[in-house]
Chain A
Amino acid sequence: MPSLDIRNLCVSIGEKPILKDFSLSLPKGEVHAIMGPNGTGKSTLAKALAGHEDYTITGGEVFLDGELLLGLEPEARAKLGLFLAFQYPCEIPGVSIANFLRAASQARLPEGQEVAAVEFYKKLHGKMDALKMDRKFTARSLNEGFSGGERKRCEILQMMMLEPKYAIMDETDSGLDIDALKIVAQGVNLMRGPELGVLVITHYQRLLDYIVPDKVHVMWDGRIVKSGGKELAFELEAKGYDWVSKELAPSAKN
Chain B
Amino acid sequence: MSVTLAETPAPVAATSPALEAVFQAELAQAREPKWLADSRREAWTRANLDGKISESGIVVGKSDERWRFSGHKGWSLEGALRAKNKYAGKLPDIFAGGHPLDCAGKLTYADDILAAQTPVSAELARQGVIFLPLAEAIAKHPELVREHLFKHDHALGGGKFLALHQAYARAGTFLYVPDNVEVPATFFVTHWAATPGAALFPHTLIIAGANATVNFLDYFGSVNTTSEAWVAGAATIIAGSGARVFRKSVQNLNGHTLSYQDDTVICGRDSDVRNIAVHLGAQRARYESYSKLNGPGSNLELCALTIASGRQEFDQRTFQDHAAPRAKSNLLYKNALLDESRTIFAGMIRVEPGAEETDAYQQNRNLLLNPAAEADSLPGLEIQNQNVRCTHGATTSRLDPEELFYLRSRGLPKNTAYQLLVFGFFEEVIQRVENEALAELLRKLAREKFGK
User: Interface residues, chain A, CB within 8 Å of chain B?
Assistant: 50-53, 73-75, 77-79, 83-84, 86, 89-90, 92-95, 99-100, 103-104, 107-108, 141, 158, 162
Contact = CB atoms under 8 A, between A and B. Distances in A.
A17 B131 CA distance: 72
A114 to B, nearest CB: 14
Interface in B79-120: none
B225 interface: no
B50 to A, nearest CB: 46
B411 A107 contact: yes
A107 B412 contact: yes
A51 B428 contact: no
A92 B412 contact: no
Interface string B403-438: 101111111111011001101111110010000000
Contacts of A100: 407, 410, 420
Interface of B: 400-403, 405-414, 416-417, 420-421, 423-428, 431
8 contacts: A51-B405, A74-B408, A75-B410, A75-B412, A79-B411, A90-B406, A95-B420, A95-B421
A141 B406 contact: no
B414 A73 contact: yes
B409 A93 contact: no
A77 B421 CA distance: 21
Contact of A51 (B409, B416, B417, B424): B409
B413 A74 contact: no
B424 A158 contact: no
A210 to B, nearest CB: 25
A235 to B, nearest CB: 33
Contacts of A162: 410-411
Contact of A107 (B403, B416, B423): B416
A52 B405 contact: yes
Nearest to B430: A94
A78 B410 contact: yes
A108 B413 CA distance: 10
A175 to B, nearest CB: 17
Contact of A75 (B403, B413, B423, B428): B413
Contact of B411 (A92, A99, A108): A108
Given A95-B420, A95-B421, A90 B403 contact: yes
A157 to B, nearest CB: 12
Contacts of A73: 408, 414
Contacts of B408: 51, 73-75, 78
A92 B408 CA distance: 13
A95 B405 contact: no
B425 A74 contact: no
A84 B409 CA distance: 7
Contacts of B411: 75, 78-79, 104, 107-108, 162
Closest 3 A/B residue pairs (Cβ): A94-B424, A94-B427, A78-B411
**Which of A50, A94, A100 lies at the interface centre, i.e. has the most chain B CB atoms within 10 A of its CB?**
A94
B97 to A, nearest CB: 18
Nearest to B417: A75
A103 B419 CA distance: 11
A90 B402 contact: yes
Nearest to A108: B411
Nearest to A88: B402
Contacts of B424: 92-95, 141
Contacts of A50: 405, 409
Contact of A94 (B401, B402, B413, B426): B426
A71 to B, nearest CB: 15
Contacts of A89: 406
B412 A104 contact: yes
B399 to A, nearest CB: 11
A84 B425 CA distance: 25
